Structure 1
Amino acid sequence: MYYGLLTKFTTQLGAGNRLAELLLEAASSLEHVTDCRQYVVSMNDEPDTVMVREIWTDQAAHMASLQLPATQKLIEQARPILLHVERVLEDQPHGGKGLK
């Protein structure tokens, strides 16, 4: 079993694409973090909204990732353009395609 999160980020007007870029940079920085099984950034027709689906080996691994220097840097860059962060879902994925 894993630890999963779905988070909805709402940005200032016109800043959705910039936030998506920052979050994709975060995904790249986690490329070699073996405890991160999935980090998917997506947008829909809701303006200035970005969603992130994360799956980790466990909650402790997710919490540890928040202390990584690259993560801290990206959080600081994103903070000025964020209006709201909502944890939409916290779950325990059991497996499936892409999760081994």
Structure 2
Amino acid sequence: MAESKNYYLICYDIRDPRRWRKAYKLLKGYGESIQFSIFRCRLSQRDREQLRWKLEQVLSDEDSLLIAGLCKRCVERVEACNRPEAWDVEHDLHQIF
């Protein structure tokens, strides 16, 4: 059975440019960049924990990381004013019960 996936906003504040680039490249493999330090990712719980662990390897104590889970209702209410196409929602084509 496939794991369910949810949307997450991942925000970070990294003070060193080298660590910032490493985190940015890592996150590019998991989701899409909304702004320089904000990503939108659609992850299973396993993928989220794997990503968090990998980011913890890159970050230092002076850096900040926020992973905010979004429920389906929250995703529906997202307003992308400047670039409406920036938040296209992938709907599951089917569900297995």
TM-score between both structures, scaled by the size of structure 2: 0.48
Larger Rg: 2
Larger relative contact order (Cα-Cα within 8 Å, sequence gap ≥ 6): 1
TM-score between both structures, scaled by the size of structure 1: 0.47
